[in-house]
């Protein structure tokens, strides 16, 4: 149950795109299409942004998209906005009804 690996930080200018990677193993990310992503602003609870690799819950802007290749999942934020500045966490199903989160990535809008 080791945490999934994410880059500590990514940054971009308004309007640009940024991509956050989330690397696991064949026992979690690579083995299941049940990767979700969460946005967490300072002092706030996580917000559900993506599920099942690339599905958006209602109300999440289509600027947010997800993908997966092998043991690595990715979250892309297109048309970066100042309100997107936050921490982002991936989460994968890891079998036998357990889950594992990523190490977290801070997105900075320059």
Partner 1 sequence: QVHLVESGGGVVQPGKSLRLSCAASGFNFNNYGMHWVRQAPGKGLEWVAIVSYEGSKTYYTNSVKGRFTISRDSENTVYLEMNNLRPDDTALYYCARARGIFWFEKLLSPDFWGQGTLVTVSP
Q: Contact residues for partner 1 (CB under 8 A)?
A: 1, 3, 32, 34, 36, 38, 40, 45-48, 51-52, 57, 89, 91, 93, 96-104
Nearer to partner 1, 1 or 13 (CB): 1
Q: How far is the CB of 104 from partner 1 (least distance, A)?
A: 4
* Distances 49 to 12, 24, 27 between C-alpha atoms, Å: 19, 19, 23
Nearer to partner 1, 63 or 101 (CB): 101
Nearer to partner 1, 24 or 102 (CB): 102
Q: How far is the CB of 3 from partner 1 (least distance, A)?
A: 7
Q: Do residues 53 and 68 lie in contact, with contact meaning Cβ atoms separated by under 8 Å?
A: yes
């Amino acid at each position: 149950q080791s945490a999934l690996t994410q880059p500590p930080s990514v940054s971009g200018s308004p309007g640009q795109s940024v991509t956050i990677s989330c690397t696991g193993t064949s026992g979690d990310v690579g083995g299941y299409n049940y990767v979700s992503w969460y946005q967490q602003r300072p002092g706030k609870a996580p917000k559900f942004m993506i599920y099942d690799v690339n599905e958006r819950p209602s109300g999440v802007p289509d600027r947010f998209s997800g993908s997966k290749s092998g043991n690595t999942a990715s979250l892309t934020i297109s048309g970066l906005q100042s309100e997107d500045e936050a921490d982002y966490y991936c989460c994968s199903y890891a079998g036998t009804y357990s889950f594992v989160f990523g190490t977290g990535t801070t997105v900075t809008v320059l």
